[in-house]
Structure 1
Amino acid sequence: MVEDRGVTSTPFSGRGAIDLGALASARQNQQQAAAAVANAPAGVVIDVTEASFQAAVIERSMTVPVVLDLWAEWCGPCKQLSPILEKLAAEYAGRWILAKVDVDAEKRVAAAFQVQSIPSVFAVIMGQPVPLFQGAYPEAQIRAILDELLKVAAEQGVTGTLTDDQGQVPDEPAGAEADTEPATDPRFDAAFNAIEAGDWDGAAAAYQLILDADPSERDAIAGLATVGLYRRTEGEDEGALRSIADQPDAAADVVVQCATADFDALAGRWSLAFDRL
């Protein structure tokens, strides 16, 4: 969506030199970011791993845009950019979520996004990645990019806001008390009936009604994500698509690999989906 006009970026495979002259400014940015995040809704800034990626990024991106900050501890430009993103995430108060990925610890996630240099920033809307920029951008320029992102998200019907009670998405289910069983919850009947009829719009609308009343309802979030996968795979020949995707010369074909990854995700094979991406 946005061309790479960043000030600096560090090659993913190397160790960038630290700009000593920028340390004072970076420290000030970090202090401002910490103060802003402390007063922001819980969960506007989260750390993401491969294990939590499905719930924290894919599922939430169905209702709220998720911005990925791919960084590393040794990366000087990352230390300039991350506090700015955290400060802005707090200011936007849940209109988008900042998900931070340590590329050293989460190499498979970095590989899925084909990260070549850091910092790299992506958005995820309706489960689909959107490249934003690489390098340490100034705050005003980042703000403009985020405003554009929110417009794009709105055009796709993603206009939700993170609420205080949503908080951090756990790697594992929170427990029986917090879980809702869709099979016995009448709120889900309309969505299930629509799915059985192949009415993806009706199913999405039914799940959205549940989320309008309770944005933290995880079964509805997961259901909406699944409906998105059904939509994208409808009419596709999975066998033919996999045959094409597995050809050596198709490894770099983003359209084919993403379409095949949708089938992997629909079957719950998220590791295979990551490998294709």
Structure 2
Amino acid sequence: MQPRNMSMSGVVDLAAVKAAGEAKAKAEQARADAARQGGTPAVSPSALVIDVDEAGFERDVLQRSTEVPVVIDFWAEWCQPCKQLSPVLERLATEYSGRFVLAKIDVDANQLLMQQFGVQGIPAVFAVVAGQALPLFQGAAPEAQIRQTLDQLVQVAEERFGLTGIAVDGEAVPGEQPAAPVQPAGPYDALLEAAVQALDAGDFAGAVQAYKNVLVDDPTNSEATLGLAQAELLGRVGGLDAQAVRTAAADDPSDVRAQLEAADLDLVGGHVEDAFGRLVETVRRTAGDDRNTARLRLLELFEVVGADDPRVVKARGALARVLF
């Protein structure tokens, strides 16, 4: 199959984008600054190529795409052109050193994702940047063409979305298991209790800060993650005029702020499916920054309800269908 180019010129006017060399220099400086300031720790080169399935797509692709472009390689074991293309993409992922992450999706095991992206033949390569899907090319393209496409993708991600990539530990051996993380200090009973007391007192800002204090040391603390989402939600709805918000949302479906506020009120009022449906519809009818804002608010409300809740599972599927 001959490769078919799918230009990204419709996504952003590349004539208005600064030179790629300047963009790369800025990205390198941003990564260096983040490392000096104790930002996100560097990852092993082996973390730049990952296998993704339907269950992990939200976490491994959509969420990750808010910090680094994710290039998706749709492949299958029986596909000979895939066996030519995949090693090239894997090598380039390491060479680009954190400017993109390569997600490999086996179409035989993940046909729903294949359908959602509209893949007609493999190999097919897409990118997801800040939650937005971009078709790149189809077929086993020459390496020079792949490099040109990746350079364009990186440039768009940096200039349009402010994504400078992730830091990579150059001294780590590819495939080597990372050292066990240092166990965070704890326990956090006092901080969590302080957050609960702040919530009970209506001090939502205080509760937010208390939960954030826990998450600074223990980013995976599920109680603090849930509490933070709840405190932020209650803080947002605290000063709202419910009648005015619902009137504005009903009168103007394109008013993104009104839809977000109405969804918050729906959730606080126990109308979970209404809240999710409203935001999925807002994502469907919007584009650009508005779409991303609505999508991120929906993900926040998922945190409040809980990932295992069947209403969240259903809404995640609806969101994926709208996005892809």
Q: What is residue 126 of structure 1 aligned with on the other side?
A: 130
Percent identical among aligned pairs is 43
Secondary structure of 1:104's aligned partner:
coil
AA paired with 2:83? K
Q: What is residue 146 of structure 2 aligned with on the other side?
A: 142
Q: Does 1:68 align with 2:92?
A: no
Instruction: Write the mapping of 1:177-188 to structure 2, written as runs, cut at 5 A.
Output: none
Alignment partners' CA distance in 2, 1:178 and 1:272 = 39
Q: What is residue 5 of structure 1 aligned with on the other side?
A: 5
Q: Does 1:78 align with 2:82?
A: yes
Q: What is residue 156 of structure 1 aligned with on the other side?
A: 161
Q: 1:144-172, CA deviations, whole angstroms, 9 ceiling, x for partnerless residues?
A: 1111111110121111314349x99xxxx
Q: Is the 8 A contact 2:5 2:136 kept in 1?
A: no
Q: Structure 1 residues 113, 153: CA separation in 2 closer, same or farther (over 3 Å shift)? A: same
Q: What is residue 274 of structure 1 aligned with on the other side?
A: 320
Secondary structure of 1:46's aligned partner:
strand
Q: What is residue 234 of structure 1 aligned with on the other side?
A: 257
Alignment partners' CA distance in 2, 1:180 and 1:153 = 40
Q: What is residue 23 of structure 1 aligned with on the other side?
A: none
Which of the residues 107, 110, 125 maps onto 1:106? 110
Secondary structure of 1:122's aligned partner:
strand
Structure possessing the higher relative contact order (Cα contacts under 8 Å, 6 or more residues apart): 1
Q: Which runs of 5+ in 2 are unaligned?
A: 7-43, 176-180, 196-203, 230-254, 264-273, 303-311
CA RMSD of aligned residues (A): 4.8
Which of the residues 40, 57, 60 maps onto 1:56? 60
Q: Structure 1 residues 177, 257: CA separation in 2 closer, same or farther (over 3 Å shift)? A: same
AA paired with 2:147? R
Q: Structure 1 residues 87, 255: CA separation in 2 closer, same or farther (over 3 Å shift)? A: same
Q: Structure 1 residues 180, 111: CA separation in 2 closer, same or farther (over 3 Å shift)? A: farther
AA paired with 2:165? G
AA paired with 1:117? G
Q: Structure 1 residues 80, 233: CA separation in 2 closer, same or farther (over 3 Å shift)? A: farther
Alignment partners' CA distance in 2, 1:80 and 1:96 = 20
AA paired with 2:146? I
Q: Is the 8 A contact 1:112 1:275 kept in 2?
A: yes
By how many angstroms is 1:179 displaced?
11
Q: Is the 8 A contact 1:42 1:163 kept in 2?
A: no
| TM score, norm. by length of structure 2 | 0.48
Highest CA radius of gyration, 1 or 2?
A: 2
| TM score, norm. by length of structure 1 | 0.55
Q: Structure 1 residues 80, 159: CA separation in 2 closer, same or farther (over 3 Å shift)? A: same
Q: 1:23-53, CA deviations, whole angstroms, 9 ceiling, x for partnerless residues?
A: xxxxxxxxxxxxxxxxx62300000011111
Alignment partners' CA distance in 2, 1:143 and 1:49 = 26
Q: Of Structure 1 and Structure 2, which has the larger fraction of its residues in helix? A: 2
Alignment partners' CA distance in 1, 2:77 and 2:130 = 29
By how many angstroms is 1:180 displaced?
11
Q: Which runs of 5+ in 1 are unaligned?
A: 7-39, 169-173, 187-191, 197-206, 208-212, 224-231, 247-253
Secondary structure of 2:46's aligned partner:
coil
Q: What is residue 246 of structure 2 aligned with on the other side?
A: none
Q: What is residue 10 of structure 1 aligned with on the other side?
A: none
By how many angstroms is 1:116 displaced?
1.2
Q: 1:168-216, CA deviations, whole angstroms, 9 ceiling, x for partnerless residues?
A: 9xxxxx9x969999x8599xxxxx95xx9xxxxxxxxxx9xxxxx99x9
Q: Is the 8 A contact 1:96 1:162 kept in 2?
A: no
Alignment partners' CA distance in 1, 2:115 and 2:317 = 12
Secondary structure of 1:85's aligned partner:
helix
AA paired with 1:158? L
Q: What is residue 29 of structure 2 aligned with on the other side?
A: none
